[in-house]
Amino acid sequence: MKQTTVAVLLACAAMGAQAQDRAWLDKSKSADERARAAVAAMTLDEKLLLIVSYTDKKDLAKQPDDIVPPAIKADVAAHHIEGSAGYVPGIARLGIPPQWQTDASIGVRVGGMERTALPSSLATAASFDPAVSEAGGRMIADEARASGFNTFLAGGANLAREPRNGRNFEYVGEDPLLAGRMAAGLINGIQARHVVSTMKHFAVNDHESQRTTVDVTISPEAMRQSDLLAFEFVDELSKPGSVMCSYNLVNGRWACENEYLLNKTLKQDWKFKGYVMADWGAVHSTADAANYGLDQFTGYPCCNHHGPFYSAKNFKEAMNKGEVSMRRLDDMAQRILWPLFQTGVFDDPAKPGKIDFAAHANVAQRAAEESMVLLKNEGNLLPLANVKSVAVIGGHADKGVLAGGGSSGVTPVGGNAVPNLEPTKWPGPVIYMPSAPLAALKAELPKAKVAYASGKDIDAAVALAKQSEVAVVFVTQWMGEGFDGKLELDGNQDALVAAVARANPKTIVVVESGGAILMPWLPQVPAVLEAFYPGIRGGQAIARILTGKVNPSGHLPISFPASNAQLAHAEIPGFGKPDGIPVHITYHEGAAIGYKWYDAKGYKPLFAFGHGLSYTNFAVAEPKANVANGALTVGAALRNTGKLAGKGVVQVYVAPADLKASGWEAPKRLVAFHKLDLQAGGANTFTQAVDPRLLATYEVADNSWRVRAGTYRVLFGQAADDLPMSVDVTLPDMVWSAVHKE
Ligand code: BGC
């Protein structure tokens, strides 16, 4: 053989061997295989690089060089995107990209950089259509990539157990099935665009007061049937690459070192393959955290920056002392790499680029138009047609629409429409999206005289309302991260609505709220539209709904209580006090959250879960419920019986004939829902398999789900309190393991 041929053969063999060694580059291999191959090629220090996320350069600069080596400080300083959540250095030698982590579920948050903001997640949940959240997920992921991020801290899915929770607007309602499907929609959209998404905050982080110190007591049965069931659905339906563990303690253990939550439930039972990252500052130890299930230490010191910094150096020391094994570190690295391969981040890296803001604003507007809930419309006051004059009052409706505060706050394209409102600092600034309902109403009603009064002066507002054919009063409730709110509106807003309604019987109230509010003026007001935080085109969406360009089709993802007396907890421990007080709460209501609580107590809420009116009418017909081998399938027809096209939502609940014998927490549970788009006079049908866990109780003794034999009534309708049709079925006894198959 000639020398050159030998050289070529040797070179080819070397390349082959290299390709084989670098098997993580091979796209034909599974994400598991690729992650495993990459971990096998890593040095100890490289593995350790993956498990720490860095955030705050100031905090980092304060760390001595032996804790965070200068090379890492320099890397973070050069590559962390200013104003974003976190940065995990890459491993250039192996082609492993850095992880650039950004908040949150309504859009990209990067300091003051202007980006497109979706409606709040609670608003989107009101669409009752996972395709709407998925479209939003794709849009915000495109902006994340164009801004240089490959990891989204999105997918908030805590249940709205506490109606005053400051972060309910970041979550997806009070029901596990609805929350599961809606959060999964968002994550599916994000990950389809090659961005890793979290689901968060795991778990039972259901109120904000003293969130970093509160110890929540709740039974495993109740957790599995409520908060954890929502997360279980999200995980199954969207396979998020990451789970963010929460600040609080659950049954005496920090959520980020909670063996029951992380190792047992998430990893062993649900077979979660991704990684657990801590909420920012939620780490309390090195070895315990790692051994009980945390995979990535996020980058600022715990306890509001007052605790130690959990560094790679600490971790190495813990390994040297035998407190954490190499096997655990390998597993952590494997879990962090897996979603990079699985979601396409590795093969299709994020690149900064141009954003089509106009197209993206349309996605946000469509989500808002699908989400607003028409709560009341006496005498068909809405839609406004041929109206000659409109008084627009309050809520900064001349400038924009409200958004929620905290880490999910997005600086909107066009800037904050009402700057300098208090608080201007964390969890502020209070942001108003630059989408003024006033201007939008003028555009939709070119022939009408549309005038504005701020509402600060009630007499002036009343005078304007008296001169106008209709009055539209905007009320707002600002909620945000790190605090809980009240159901009562702030300031003079209730008095304003009452005074305007007295002056003009054709008064419409538009509510921009984080969640539920009380409405002492409701009997005096003929029409109410719940707009939540409607995002960057919220003003246009409100105007189009009020004027009938869009037929409202949102349904409440949370119940609106009639009074504080109906709440499960009279007080939230530590409410309104500075953070850091160790407090305790027992979630005695267990899994009976929202409508389940009201049903169990026999309370009539102000507005029921699932409620939402339309400008047309729908009738549910042909209810069907079949049981085959213990599996329940339900279906129905929906007919548009009115004169306008519109979208209706069929909701299916199940109620055991013998509640006590069923073991359920409450008289009924939502088991299916489906949104249908129908022309006037049109009808359509749907069929859905019911997830058996929605008929079961969780049995802690043998980690199983169990359905108790008996008669169950399947109820069909359009809201939790509007279920006119039913079919009885008989379910057999069934028990199955709560452990998922691989
Ligand atoms: C929030 C998380 C957020 C993180 C990073 C925390 O304060 O609870 O939801 O993702 O900060 O900004």
- The domain limits of the chain are 31-342, 364-558, 616-737
Instruction: Please give the structure tokens belonging to residue 270.
Output: 């649900």
Q: How much is the pLDDT for 19?
A: 54
Q: What is the mean pLDDT of residues 369-384?
A: 98
pLDDT at 15 over 70: no
Q: How much is the pLDDT for 308?
A: 84
Q: Give the least confident one: 169-178, 296-305, 609-618.
A: 296-305
Q: Give the least confident one: 2-6, 97-101, 115-119, 738-742.
A: 2-6
Length of the chain, in residues: 742
Would you give the distance in Å from CA 181 to the centre of its chain? 11
pLDDT at 488 over 50: yes
Q: How much is the pLDDT for 305?
A: 77
Q: How much is the pLDDT for 20?
A: 56
Contacts of 324 (CB under 8 A, 6+ apart): 286, 287, 290, 291, 315, 318
Q: Whose CA is nearest to atom 7 of ligand 1?
A: 280
What kind and span of H or E run contains 633?
strand 631-640
| Ligand 1 center to 56 CA (angstroms) | 13
| Ligand 1 center to 250 CA (angstroms) | 19
Would you give the distance in Å from CA 25 to the centre of its chain? 34
Per-residue pLDDT band for 113 (boundaries 50, 70, 90) equals very high
DSSP code, position 384: P
- Atom number, ligand 1, closest to the C-alpha of residue 103: 10
Per-residue pLDDT band for 482 (boundaries 50, 70, 90) equals very high
Residue-wise pLDDT tens digits, 500-544: 999 999 999 999 999 999 999 999 999 999 999 999 999 999 999
Mutation pick for ligand 1 pocket among 167, 296, 303, 407 (CB with most ligand atoms within 8 Å) = 407
Relative orientation angle of helices 130-146 and 176-192, to the nearest 10 degrees: 40
Ligand 1 pocket (Cβ < 6 Å) reads 85, 103-104, 153, 200, 279-280, 407
Q: How much is the pLDDT for 112?
A: 86
Instruction: Please give the structure tokens belonging to residue 708.
Output: 């108790």
- Identical fold at 31-342 and 364-558? no
Instruction: Please give the structure tokens belonging to residue 705.
Output: 């789900």
Contacts of 444 (CB under 8 A, 6+ apart): 543, 544, 546, 547, 549
Which residue blocks in 468-511 are alpha helix, DSSP H?
493-503
- CA distance linking residue 406 with residue 386, whole number of Å: 41
| Three-state SS sequence of 48-101 | HHHCECECCHHHHHHCCCCCCCHHHHHHHHHHCCCCCCEEECCEHHHCECCEEE
Query: Beta 389-393 vs 449-453: how paired, if at all?
Result: parallel
Q: Whose CA is nearest to atom 4 of ligand 1?
A: 280
| Ligand 1 center to 281 CA (angstroms) | 9
Note whether 471 and 500 are within 8 A (CB): yes
pLDDT at 730 over 70: yes
Q: How much is the pLDDT for 643?
A: 97
Per-residue pLDDT band for 10 (boundaries 50, 70, 90) equals very low
Task: Give per-residue burial for 85-98: e unless 16+ CB within 10 Å, then b.
Answer: bbbbbbbeebebbb
Question: How many other C-beta atoms lie within 10 A of the C-beta of residue 436?
Answer: 24
Structural fold of domain 616-737: Immunoglobulin-like (2.60.40)
- CA distance linking residue 126 with residue 515, whole number of Å: 11
Nearest in space to 673 (alpha carbons), one of 255, 334, 172 = 172
Query: Beta 683-689 vs 631-640: how paired, if at all?
Result: antiparallel
Percent of the chain exceeding pLDDT 70 equals 97
Per-residue pLDDT band for 14 (boundaries 50, 70, 90) equals very low
What kind and span of H or E run contains 461?
helix 458-467
Q: Whose CA is nearest to atom 2 of ligand 1?
A: 279
Per-residue pLDDT band for 12 (boundaries 50, 70, 90) equals very low
Percent composition of the chain: helix, strand, coil (DSSP 3-state, to 5): 30, 20, 45
Q: What is the mean pLDDT of the chain?
A: 96
Q: What is the pTM of this model?
A: 0.97
Asked if CATH classification 3.10.20.30 holds for the domain at 31-342, the reply, yes or no, is: no
φ, ψ for residue 475, nearest 5 deg: -115, 150
pLDDT at 476 over 80: yes
Q: Which residues pair with 472 in a beta bridge?
A: 392, 508
Q: Whose CA is nearest to atom 8 of ligand 1?
A: 279
CATH architecture for the domain at 364-558: 3-Layer(aba) Sandwich (3.40)
Residue-wise pLDDT tens digits, 35-50: 999 999 999 999 999 9
pLDDT at 13 over 50: no
